[in-house]
Amino acid sequence: MEYRKLGKWALRVSEIGIGSWLTYGGSVDKKQSIHCLHHAFEQGINFFDTANVYAHGESEKVVGEAIKHLDRDDIVLATKVYFPMGNGPNDGGL
């Protein structure tokens, strides 16, 4: 796996990341999702992307389950928060 330096810091991010938009917590079952994320990590992928609206929060849960036993220093986790998750005054935006 090739890595790139992120910004001026020493953080190195895999050139290939794995996202979870239409799959984890939705169309792919949890066990298979976790297997896929672990396999990606074993191949050197250290960048995982998710968001609170992916499968209405289920994607973040699956990614969290998959990475909970990995060393935090070995992964780069990105998540996004903007789109509404409900109708409450604090359910959307930044």
CA-closest candidate to residue 1, choices 78, 74, 72: 74
**Active-site residues: which are they?**
54
Question: What is the three-state SS of 75-93?
Answer: CEEEEECCCCCCCCCCCCC
Q: What is the DSSP letter of 28?
A: B
